[in-house]
Amino acid sequence: MDEKEQNNAKFKAIPVTGSASYEKSDRPKSGFGKSVIIPFISGVVGCTVVIGTCFGVPSIRTKLIGNQTTSSISTTNNNSTKSDGYVKQTSLENYSDTSVYAANKILPSIVGIKIDYTVNSTSIFGRTGSTTATASGSGIIISEDGYILTNNHVVSSSSSDSNSYYQISEATKVTVTLFNDETEYEAKIVGQDEQTDLAVIKIEKTGLTKAEFADSDDVKVGEFAMAVGNPVNMTSTVTTGIVSAVNRKITDSDGKTYTCIQTDAAINSGNSGGALVNAQGKVIGINTLKLSGTGIEGIGFAIPINSTTDITSQLIQYSKVKRPFIGISGIDLDETTAKKYNLVVGIYVKSVEDFSSAEKGGLKSGDVIIEADGKSIKSMDELNEIKNSHQIGDTMKLKINRDGSEKEITLTLGEQP
């Protein structure tokens, strides 16, 4: 079986939340936390917190990674060393350990992110209240003048439980800590995209060390992988492992599906938004989700870096992602469902939005879409995948079944509102 076509089993992913207290020393300590498959964010919500658990107020869901404390690598022939942190700076020739080289390469490009929130809550008895909350995570420097890539859930989140409903507003304040620099820099949110769980923030500082990206399409199963971040606020933590799988489809707790790189490098609460890098210290993915539970260890997921390039550019330019739009709500019809309702396999069009591409192209409620651009489809995910391969203004050909008869229609894709 081609490694690019591995079993795409679905898992439920839930955000890893909570933080742990520990004594600071000159070097980060290793830590352990209860995990579940979730985004890696570390949150403190004005209450006593143990790893993965918060009493009294909801913990915030986000994936985050912390600040760095090591120095950058020199690739010259100078054999001198400089110990600015717990990893030494030395010449490339002296690196006998792949992990040391990769850590030195990436750490100056990883930042710690702290987010302040206002949490509004309404209990099942109708009582309302609010409190402040903080969360911590990570980001990757993508430009020398202060642009930083992270997960959207790091800077925008909500949470609920069985006893109360909590709504967390947009972050009221975002601060960034740089590698080997305890100064907190206030950041502004440049753009966010919930669909891909990506966001870009910016600080007013120049001369930063931007991360170098690898081609994530070339990632192979079994190759070296290092996760970098801020698990449970332990800044500049690196963990190593391998690439366990590629093109793994994972469904999170909100029902969104991502195509990810799977790794067994330890990813814990607070790692969200950080980097997964290869042996050269080049970014191959953004740490985002983790599968956890009794009997489950070493299953983490990163968004491939290639899939972030266009999204990042649009977030910087437009503060949002401009996507083509069809304008329908639909119901997946597999063989079992279609047979039950005496329909054909495809997508049942439940409703059509006014003035949308679908309405203008002639789609009607009750139609069943059976092909898109010549490909048979039976789910909204498949339709959206084909749609997203187009640009706004492109045409898209659909074959539908209407009242037992097949018909072809052509849509001109508009822009998603």
> Which active-site residues does the annotation give?
153, 197, 272
Question: How far is it, in rounded angstroms, from Cα 312 to Cα 348?
Answer: 34
DSSP 112-125: EEEEEEEEEEEETT
Integer angstrom CA distances of residue 51 from 22, 216, 255 = 11, 32, 25
DSSP 63-109: --------PPP--SS----B-SSSS-B--GGG---HHHHHHHHHGGG
Token pair recorded at residue 310? 């266009």
Give residues with Cβ within 8 angstroms of 155, minimum separation 6: 62, 113, 115, 170, 171, 174, 189, 192, 199, 201
Token pair recorded at residue 25? 């020393």
Question: How far is it, in rounded angstroms, from Cα 29 to Cα 22?
Answer: 9
- 337 half-sphere exposure, CB direction, 13 A CA radius: 11
State the CB neighbour count (10 A cutoff) for residue 119.
21
Beta bridge partners of 331: 348
Q: Using DSSP bridges, classify how beta strands 414-415 and 328-333 pair: parallel, antiparallel or unpaired.
A: unpaired
